[in-house]
Amino acid sequence: MTTEDLLETLAGIARDMPDPSPEMRWCLFGSALRNPVGAADFDLAIVCRADRARAVREHLAPWCLVWPLHLTILTPEEDAALGFTEGQAARQFYPVG
């Protein structure tokens, strides 16, 4: 599995999220961006409204059994205050373009 394969699969999972909200952003960061096969975990940052966080976790629960996903779910305000996705050089894979 290459990084591009992983990002494509993750983008498909993000697209399948029921009732997506317009500000939602999905990003991958950490060692899985360089080499998913040798990574100890897959670090995902999902920026969304606070009231969508539980739904995101529920949507990802089946995938957490397949991969060692490490989830950081944060609001746009938290992302701005902590500078999280920028500081982690996270790559946004959904939405793209």
Partner 1 sequence: MPHANPAQFVANGLAKHDEVAQATALDSQIVEVGRKQYPDFIVGVVSTARVDPGAIEDLVRDERVDFVCNIPREAVWSGEAIDLVKAHGKAWGGVGDLFSAAAGKEPAREFVRREYEFIERIFEQHSAVVRVERVCDRVYRLHRCAKPPVEVVLVNEYDLTADHVRTAWDRYGPFSDILANNPNCRFSSEAADAAQELGVKLLMLRPFMGRLNRQ
Binding site for partner 1 (CB under 8 A): 35, 37-41, 50, 53-54, 57, 61-75, 77-78, 81-82, 84
Q: How many CB atoms lie within 10 A of CB 63?
A: 14
CB 91 within 8 Å of CB 33: yes
Shorter beta-carbon distance to partner 1: residue 21 or 96:
21
Torsion of CA 41, 46, 52, 56, to 10 degrees: -30
- Picking from 94, 72, 96, the residue whose alpha carbon sits closest to that of residue 84 is 72
CB 18 within 8 Å of CB 31: no
Shorter beta-carbon distance to partner 1: residue 7 or 74:
74
Shorter beta-carbon distance to partner 1: residue 21 or 35:
35
From the CB of 28, what's the least distance to partner 1, in Å? 14
From the CB of 57, what's the least distance to partner 1, in Å? 7
From the CB of 61, what's the least distance to partner 1, in Å? 7
